[in-house]
Amino acid sequence: MISYRSLRVALLGGGSVGAQVARALLEDGDELSQRVGARLELVGIAVRDVDAPRSVDLPRELFTTDVDRLILGADVVVELMGGIEPARTHVLKALASGADVVTGNKALLATHGPELFAAAEQVGAQLYYEAAVGGAIPIIRPLRESLAGDRIVRILGIVNGTTNYILDRMDTEGGALEDVLADAQRLGLAEADPTADVDGYDAAQKAAILASLAFHTDVPVEAVHREGMRTVTAAQIASAARSGHVVKLLAICERLTDDDGRDGVSVRVYPAMVSRTHPLAAVHGANNAVFVEAEAAGSLMFYGAGAGGVETSSAVLGDLVSLARRHVVGGPGLAESKHADLPVLDIGQVTTRYAVTLEVKDEPGVLAGIAGVFAQHGVSVETLQQSVVTTSSAGLATAVLVIGTHAARESALAATVADLEAHRVVVGVASVLRVEGA
Ligand SMILES: NC(=O)c1ccc[n+]([C@@H]2O[C@H](COP(=O)([O-])OP(=O)(O)OC[C@H]3O[C@@H](n4cnc5c(N)ncnc54)[C@H](O)[C@@H]3O)[C@@H](O)[C@H]2O)c1
Ligand SMILES: N[C@@H](CCO)C(=O)O
Ligand code: NA
C-alpha cells in the first residue's frame, strides 16, 4: 500500500453540486489518490445551515458555518456556493493564502474574472472553472489548452438548458411560451423566478467567459449584447419550421472586422433560427452544446448535460484532480492569456442573415415597393414566401410576407426595418429573427 501525502480540500457549499463532490471525495478517495499522487482529504464543507436537509448522506462533523476558518490551512478550496458575495471575498482570501481554487461560479467569473486571475497569478496559484460553462461538458479545458495553438473564429453555444427545454417543447408540441414555461416551473426544471434564464443573463455570463478564453481578450459581461427569449412566439416557431429551421437561444462569440477595417469580437445572446441540418438543431431538452469553429481544427461540437448536481460534479472533480496533480509536482498555474486585447464591437457591426415577417396590403406594386426598401440599404433578398391573402372586417385585404435575406450588416437591417415600418403598403413588421450557423 502506497502512503501518499495529503492535500487539504475545503469545500464551500454543500448544495446540488457540492454534496456530490463531497460524496465522490469520500467514496472514491483511494482511486482519486492514485490518479493524483496525493490523498485528497476533505477537511470541511461550509454551508449556511449545518442542519439543512441534504440529498446526500454526509458526516455531520464535516459541516461548518465558519468559512474563514475552513479556508485557513487548506491546499485547495472548491467554491460551490454561487453568487458574487461572499464567494468573491472567500476566493480572493483562498488565493491570497496560496491555495488553489476550483469554482463553478459563472456569475463571479463573468463579473470579477480579471481580479481573480490577477490574484491567482500574483501568488502562482491555480484557478480552474470547468463547471462554470456547460456543466459536465468539457469546454473550458479544450479552449484553454487543446485549442491554444489554433485560432478560434466563432462559437455558437446552447449554454442554457432551461430555455432550450422551453424552445424545444414549443417546437415539438406547438405550445405558447408562457404555457411551456409554467409547465417547466411545475416540473422543477425552471426557477420560480426565471429571469436569469429566460432573459438571457445566465447565457450572457457564459458567453463572456467563453469569448474571453477563445479570443485571449477580457470580455466583461456588460459588453455582451443580450436579448432574451420572452418575445418568441408559437407563430415564429411555426414559420421557422416551414422554412426548415428551429429557434434556439444562442450565445455567439465571433471574430469580426468593423467598417473601419479594425479587428474585433462580437459577443451576443439572442434567440435565432438555425437550419434543421445544423448539429445545434439536434440539441433537445435541457441539454447544452457548444459548436466551435477554429481555423485549423474546423468545426467541433461539444455536447451533453449542461447542469445537474451529479453531472456537474464530474467537471469539478476533473478540475480538482488536474490541479492537485500540478500541486504535487509544483510550479505556477496556467496564466490567463489576454494578449490579443481585441475591442468588443457594437451589435451594428455584426453581419448575419435575417427572416423578416411583414403584414402588407394586398395591392399591385407591393412586392416591388418592399424589394426597393431592402435594395436601398444594400440588403440582398434571398427568399420570399407569401401566405394566403386575408380580408379584415373593415374590408382591408392583407398578405403575410416572410423575407429571407443574404448576410447583411445589422445596422443596414435596422435601417431597412425602420423604413419598412413607415412604408405606405406595410401594415406591420410582425417579426425579425436572425438566422445563424450558415
Ligand atoms: N446546479 C447545477 O446544475 C450547476 C451547473 C453548473 C454550475 N453550477 C454552479 O455551481 C455553483 C453551486 O451551485 P448549486 O446548484 O450546487 O447551488 P446550491 O444552491 O444547491 O448550493 C449552494 C450551497 O452553498 C451554501 N452557501 C451559499 N451561500 C453561502 C454563504 N454565504 N455561506 C456559507 N454557505 C453558503 C449553501 O448552504 C449550499 O450548501 C453555482 O455557482 C452554480 O452556478 C451549478
Ligand atoms: N439555469 C442554468 C443552470 C446551469 O448553469 C440552465 O438552465 O442551464
Ligand atoms: Na463545462
> What ipTM does this complex have?
0.98
Is 400 a residue whose pLDDT tops 70?
yes
| Residue whose CA is at the smallest distance from ligand 1 atom 19 | 15
Ligand 1 mutation pick, 48, 68, 139, 160, max ligand atoms within 8 A of CB: 48
Counting from 1 in the atom list of ligand 1, the atom nearest the Cα of 17 is: 16
Residue 158 Cα to ligand 3 middle (Å): 12
**What element of type H or E holds 114?**
helix 106-123
Q: Could you give the residue numbers annotated as active site?
A: 206
Res 394 pLDDT > 90? no
**Which residues have CB under 6 Å of ligand 1?**
13-18, 46-48, 67, 80-82, 86, 104-106, 131, 135, 307-309, 312
At the fourth CATH level, the homologous superfamily of domain 7-132+310-329 is: NAD(P)-binding Rossmann-like Domain (3.40.50.720)
Shared fold status for 7-132+310-329 and 350-436: no
Percent of the chain predicted with pLDDT > 70 = 100
106 annotated to a ligand binding site: yes
Instruction: Kindly give the number of the ligand 1 atom that is closest to the alpha carbon of 47.
Output: 34
pLDDT at 61 over 90: yes
Domain positions in the chain are: 7-132+310-329, 140-306, 350-436
Instruction: Tell me which fold the domain 350-436 belongs to.
Output: Alpha-Beta Plaits (3.30.70)
Task: Pick the residue whose CA is nearest to atom 14 on ligand 1.
Answer: 16
Given a contact cutoff of 8 angstroms between Cβ atoms, the answer to whether 133 and 352 are in contact is: no
pLDDT score of 88 more than 90 = yes
Grid cell at residue 70: 475552513
- For residue range 15-44, what is the model confidence (pLDDT) as tens digits? 999 999 999 999 999 999 999 999 999 999
Whole-angstrom distance, CA of residue 224 vs CA of residue 218: 12
CA-angle at 168, arms to 381 and 267, nearest 5°? 60
Nearest-ligand number for the alpha carbon of 313: 1
| Residue 25, C-beta contacts closer than 8 angstroms, at least 6 positions apart | 9, 11, 32, 40, 42, 317
Under 8 Å CB-to-CB from 421, ≥6 apart: which residues? Answer: 428, 429
* Residue 250 reports pLDDT greater than 90: yes
Using the mean position of ligand 3's atoms as its centre, give its distance from the Cα of residue 161 in Å. Answer: 13
318 labeled binding residue: no
Question: What letter represents residue 121's amino acid?
Answer: E
pLDDT digits (tens, 9 = 90+) for 266-300: 999 999 999 999 999 999 999 999 999 999 999 99
Question: What confidence tens digit (pLDDT) does each residue in 110-154 have?
Answer: 999 999 999 999 999 999 999 999 999 999 999 999 999 999 999
pLDDT of res. 21: 98
pLDDT band (50, 70, 90) for residue 396? confident
| Whole-number pLDDT of residue 331 | 80
Q: What is the pLDDT of residues 364-376, one digit of tens each?
A: 999 999 999 999 9
Cα–Cα distances in angstroms (integers) from residue 161 to residues 133, 157, 216, 310, in the given order: 11, 11, 27, 16
pLDDT of 335 higher than 90: no
Structure-block grid coordinates of residue 19:
454534496
Q: Is the pLDDT of residue 9 over 70?
A: yes
Q: 266 has which bridge partners? A: 254
Task: State which H helix or E strand residue 231 sits in.
Answer: none
Please state, in angstroms and rounded to a whole number, the distance separating the CA atoms of residues 313 and 311: 5
Q: What is the CATH number of domain 140-306?
A: 3.30.360.10
Ligand 1 centroid to 127 CA: how many Å?
A: 18
In a mutational test of the pocket of ligand 2, which residue from 130, 201, 202 has the highest number of ligand atoms less than 8 Å from its CB?
202
307 marked among binding-site residues: no
CB neighbours (10 Å) of residue 288?
A: 25
What's the first-to-final CA gap in the chain, in angstroms? 57
Nearest to 134 by CA among 57, 206, 216, 48: 206
Model confidence band, residue 1 (pLDDT cutoffs 50, 70, 90)? low
- What grid cell was written down for 157? 453555444
Report pLDDT for 36.
Answer: 96
How much is the average pLDDT of 102-113?
98
pLDDT on residue 390? 86
Query: Is 3 a known ligand-binding residue?
Result: no
Q: Per the structure block, which three cell numbers stand in for 84?
A: 458574487
Residue 285 is labelled as binding a ligand: no
Please name every residue paired with 324 in a beta bridge, in sequence order, or none if there are none: none
CA dihedral 281, 221, 265, 348 (to 10 degrees): 80
Closest C-alpha residue for ligand 2 atom 3: 307
